[in-house]
Chain A
Amino acid sequence: MPHVMTPLAVTAHTATSALGHGLDAQLDALRGERSGLRPNDFSSAPLTCWIGRVDGLETAALPAALASWDCRNNRLAWLGLNQDGFLDRVRAARARYGAGRVALLLGTSTASIGATEEAYRRLDADGGFPDDMLRPAIHAPHSLAAFVAAALALEGPCLTVSTACSSSAKVFASAERMLRLGLIDAAVVGGVDTLCDSVLFGFNALELVSPEPCRPFDAARNGISIGEAAGFALLERIDTAPDAPRLLGYGESSDAHHMSTPHPQGLGAELALNDALARAGLDPAQVGYINLHGTASQKNDEVEAALVARAFPATTRASSTKGFTGHTLGAAGIVEATMALQAIEHDLVPGNLGGDTPDPVCGAQFAWHNEQQRIDVALSNSFGFGGNNACLAFARAGFVA
Chain B
Amino acid sequence: MSDLRVYVEGIGLWSPQLADFAALRSLLAGQTPAPPPARPTAATLPPNERRRAPASVLLAIEAAGQAVAMSGRDAATLACVFASSHGDQTITDYMCATLAHAPAELSPIRFHNSVHNAAVGYWTIATGCHAPSTAIAAQAASFGAGLLEAASQVLTEQRAVLLVCSDGAGSWPLAEVTDCDQPFACALVLAPAAGAATLARLDLQLAPPQPDDALPEPLAGWCRGNPSARSLALLAVLASNAGSCRLAAAPTLGLQIAMEKVA
CA–CA, A146 and B106, complex, Å: 29
- Docked Cα-Cα span, A43 to B100, in Å, equals 11
5 closest Cβ pairs, A-B complex = A386-B121, A162-B116, A202-B111, A252-B132, A155-B252
Q: Within 8 Å of chain A (Cβ to Cβ): is B47?
A: no
CB <8 Å contact, A388 and B177: no
Is B187 in the interface zone, CB < 8 Å from A?
no
How many residue pairs at the A-B interface have CB separations less than 8 Å?
234
Residues of A within 8 A of B136 (CB): 159-162
Question: Any chain B CB within 8 A of the CB of A74?
Answer: no
Contact of B112 among A128, A260, A268 (CB under 8 A): A260
The A interface, classified by DSSP as helix, strand, loop or mixed, is mixed
CA distance A253 to B152 in the complex (A): 17
Of all chain A residues, the one with the shortest Cβ separation from B125 is A256
Query: Are B96 and A386 within 8 A (Cβ)?
Result: no
26 pairs of residues in contact across A and B, judged by CB atoms under 8 Å = A116-B174, A123-B173, A149-B251, A155-B250, A157-B145, A157-B148, A157-B253, A158-B250, A159-B148, A160-B136, A177-B152, A177-B153, A177-B156, A177-B157, A181-B152, A204-B104, A206-B111, A254-B121, A254-B130, A254-B131, A255-B125, A256-B129, A384-B115, A385-B115, A386-B115, A386-B122
Minimum CB–CB distance from B109 to chain A (whole Å) comes to: 9
Contacts of A319 in B (CB 8 A): none
Which among B87, B108, B155, B178 has the highest number of chain A CB atoms within 10 Å? Answer: B108
Contacting residues of chain A (231-269) with chain B, CB-CB under 8 angstroms:
252-260, 267-268
Q: Which residues of A contact B96 (CB under 8 A)?
A: 113, 116-117, 119-120, 198
User: What 0/1 readout, one digit per residue, does chain A (201-215) give for beta carbons within 8 Å of chain B?
Assistant: 111111100000000
Residues in chain A within 8 A of chain B (CB atoms): 2, 43, 45, 99-100, 109, 113, 116-117, 119-121, 123, 127-129, 134-137, 139-142, 145-146, 149, 154-164, 170, 173-174, 176-178, 180-183, 197-198, 201-207, 252-260, 267-268, 271, 384-388
Q: Is the CB of A142 within 8 A of B114?
A: no
- In the bound complex, residues from chain A placing their C-beta under 8 Å from that of B95 are 113, 117, 198, 202
Contact across chains for B115 and A162 when beta carbons are under 8 A apart: yes
Contact of A253 with B132 at beta-carbon distance under 8 Å, contacts A120-B97, A163-B116, A206-B112 already known:
yes
Known: A174-B152, A254-B133. A127 touches B173 (CB 8 A): yes
Question: B149 near A: Cβ within 8 Å?
Answer: yes
CB contact between A149 and one of B85, B104, B178, B252 (< 8 Å): that residue: B252
Q: What is the bound-complex CA distance between A210 and B129, given in angstroms?
A: 32
Question: Given A177-B153, A178-B152, is A140 in contact with B108 using a C-beta cutoff of 8 Å?
Answer: no
Minimal Cβ-Cβ distance residue in B for A154 = B252
By a CB distance below 8 angstroms, the chain B residues around A176 are: 156
CB neighbours (8 Å) of A385 from chain B are 112, 115, 117, 121
